[in-house]
């Protein structure tokens, strides 16, 4: 059996639907990981000891164990305690929290490297520490880490293929299903790879746009 | 202790960092509308004293009073936070390194705190920004970011930012020390203007000429104590203390 790419258009709708799922899950998880990252970072640095502890557990869980296991735990494990999440929601939460922990590490470092004078100036004007963090320190820290967070988001896109194991018909699983019907793994895996590549490009473009929009010195 | 009758009153200020005592029992009063200069070499404690006034560097002992209210009250954490934020709104501070917020324009730097803390409207904030930036001669740079401004311009915006909170007292912590010599005068000019408007100011500075021309009173600090204080023409021309003479002589040599 030789190669025949002419078969692709026939299953294009399945592949594109898979793309749509991948994009949707990636975007939702990216937003969750970004907001979660800021939240985790502020808690890690400024929350009282007692509040920090459960977050340290979350951090350990999401950094120290395989993402695959985390997805199983959220999707299959939580059912036992009565939390029955749709597979794509479980996927978004798993990916989102996993990368939130990584983003948090970046943001923590960035917050600590914001000049001490910034907090002082804000406090001197009469802002509380929380207000100063929200308006002055965190926005500067976040601006500084947009490029490395962008790298994490590319990793997130690639790892989104893992949610196929809990049955979300994203790009990789869609390709697999088509292959199951056509026995054309090379063509359709390549097709899926091309789709990932295009989504990747779009994400890089988006990142550049965000960077330009909020860069400190225009 | 009786209530203070002075506008700013520092009583027996003491501050230690571990074994190092940087302020040793300093008492100081400032009246409304007065301009007090603090001079002294680095490490003399002058910045620490200034920063104790709005409790940025809390004292280990002693009291600070502003307009009849004790600044460094012993309160529970929550109450203290509320109290100190209230106090700090009344005290403007200008730093050596400007500390402008780099992600905000000049306008946003000036209006952020009033918008958050004074509940003014967007239009009021806009008027306020124009008014304050005009005062420091920075109106035409209202939408510039700090990175697009020179050091002197940044410092003028920083002064406008402090003034926008309508403070009763302004603290200047070596406001011109980080500036290129040719940029010093534009900042001094703004400070002189404030002096003409009878703003109460405490100015930590290395510029003797400026201190001499603008201050009502000058303090010379060394090793955590006020060695000598008096009107500038007395302190600079006829200092009574050997340490003051030594400092002024060295400073004069350095300026040559």
- Taking alpha carbons only, the member of B181, B249, B216 closest to residue B32 is B216
A113 touching chain B per CB within 8 A: no
Contact A208, A144 (CB under 8 A): no
Q: How far does the CA of residue A21 sit from the closest CA of chain B (Å)?
A: 36
Q: In this complex, do B91 and A124 lie within 8 Å of one another by their Cβ atoms? A: yes
B interface test, pick of A124, A135, A145 with most B CB neighbours within 10 Å: A124
Contacts of A59 (CB under 8 A, 6+ apart): A40, A44, A101, A104
Task: Quote the pLDDT of residue A218.
Answer: 41
Question: Taking all residues of chain B, what is their mean pLDDT, rounded to a whole number?
Answer: 93
Question: B42-65, pLDDT tens digit by residue?
Answer: 889 999 999 999 999 999 999 999
Stretch A32-49: mean pLDDT, rounded? 95
Q: Is the pLDDT of residue B200 over 50?
A: yes
Element (H, E) at B23: strand B20-30
B interface test, pick of A121, A144, A215 with most B CB neighbours within 10 Å: A121
Identify the residue whose tokens are 């009502």. B216
Question: A126-172, pLDDT tens digit by residue?
Answer: 999 999 999 999 999 999 999 999 999 999 999 999 999 999 999 99
- Taking alpha carbons only, the member of B32, B44, B47 closest to residue B222 is B44
- Domains in chain A, CATH or no CATH each: 5-213 (1.10.3720.10)
A63 touching chain B per CB within 8 A: no
The pTM (predicted TM-score) of the whole model is 0.87
**Going by DSSP bridges, is the β-strand pair B69-70/B61-66 parallel, antiparallel, or unpaired?**
antiparallel
Q: In this complex, do A126 and B86 lie within 8 Å of one another by their Cβ atoms? A: yes
d(CA A101, CA A107): 10
More confident residue, B229 or A211: B229
- Taking alpha carbons only, the member of B142, B143, B107, B103 closest to residue A214 is B103
Token code pair at residue B245: 């003479």
Of A128, A136, A214, the CB nearest to B101: A136
Measured between CA atoms, the residue of chain A closest to residue B114 is: A125
Measured between CA atoms, the residue of chain A closest to residue B93 is: A124
Q: How far does the CA of residue A185 sit from the closest CA of chain B (Å)?
A: 50
Task: Quote the pLDDT of residue A8.
Answer: 82
Token code pair at residue B151: 């050091």
ipTM: 0.92
């Amino acid at each position: 059996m030789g190669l025949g790419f002419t078969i692709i258009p026939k299953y294009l709708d399945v592949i594109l639907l898979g793309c749509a799922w991948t994009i949707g899950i990636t975007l939702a998880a990216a937003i969750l990981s970004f907001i979660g990252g800021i939240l985790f970072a502020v808690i890690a640095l400024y929350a009282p000891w007692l509040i920090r502890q459960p977050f340290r557990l979350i951090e350990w869980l999401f950094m120290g164990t395989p993402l695959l296991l985390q997805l199983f735990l959220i999707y299959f494990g939580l059912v036992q305690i009565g939390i029955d999440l749709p597979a794509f929601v479980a996927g978004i939460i798993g990916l989102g929290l996993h990368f939130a922990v990584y983003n948090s590490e970046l943001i923590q470092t960035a917050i600590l490297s914001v000049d001490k004078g910034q907090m002082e100036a804000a406090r001197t004007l009469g802002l509380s520490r929380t207000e100063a963090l929200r308006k002055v320190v965190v926005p500067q820290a976040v601006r500084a880490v947009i490029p490395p967070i962008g790298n994490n988001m590319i990793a997130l896109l690639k790892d989104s293929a893992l949610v196929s194991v809990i049955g979300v018909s994203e790009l990789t699983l869609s390709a697999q299903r088509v292959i199951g019907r056509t026995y054309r793994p090379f063509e359709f895996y390549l097709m899926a790879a091309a789709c990932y590549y295009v989504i990747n490009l779009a994400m890089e473009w988006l990142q550049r746009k965000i960077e330009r929009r909020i860069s400190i010195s225009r | 202790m009786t209530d203070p009758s002075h506008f700013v009153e520092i009583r027996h200020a003491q501050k230690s960092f571990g074994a190092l005592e940087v302020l040793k029992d300093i008492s100081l009063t400032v009246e409304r509308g007065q301009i007090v200069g603090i001079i002294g070499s680095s490490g003399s404690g002058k910045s620490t004293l200034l920063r104790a006034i709005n409790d940025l560097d809390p004292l280990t002992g002693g009291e600070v009073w502003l307009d009849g209210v004790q600044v460094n009250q012993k309160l529970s954490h929550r109450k203290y936070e509320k109290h100190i934020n209230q106090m700090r709104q009344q005290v403007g501070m200008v730093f050596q390194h400007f500390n402008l917020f780099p992600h905000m324009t000049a306008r946003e730097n000036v209006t952020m705190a009033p918008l958050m803390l004074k509940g003014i409207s967007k239009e009021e904030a806009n008027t306020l920004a124009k008014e304050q930036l005009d005062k420091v001669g920075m109106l035409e740079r209202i939408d510039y970011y700090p990175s697009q401004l020179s050091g002197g311009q940044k410092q003028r915006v920083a002064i406008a930012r402090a003034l926008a909170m309508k403070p009763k007292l302004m603290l200047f912590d070596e406001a011109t020390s980080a500036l290129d010599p040719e940029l010093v005068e534009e900042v001094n000019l703004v400070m002189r203007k404030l002096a003409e408007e009878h703003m109460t100011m405490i100015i930590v500075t290395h510029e003797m000429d400026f201190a001499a021309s603008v201050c009502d009173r000058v303090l010379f600090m060394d090793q955590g104590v006020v060695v000598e204080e008096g009107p500038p023409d007395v302190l600079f021309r006829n200092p009574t203390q050997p340490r003051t003479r030594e400092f002024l002589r060295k400073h004069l040599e350095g300026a040559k």
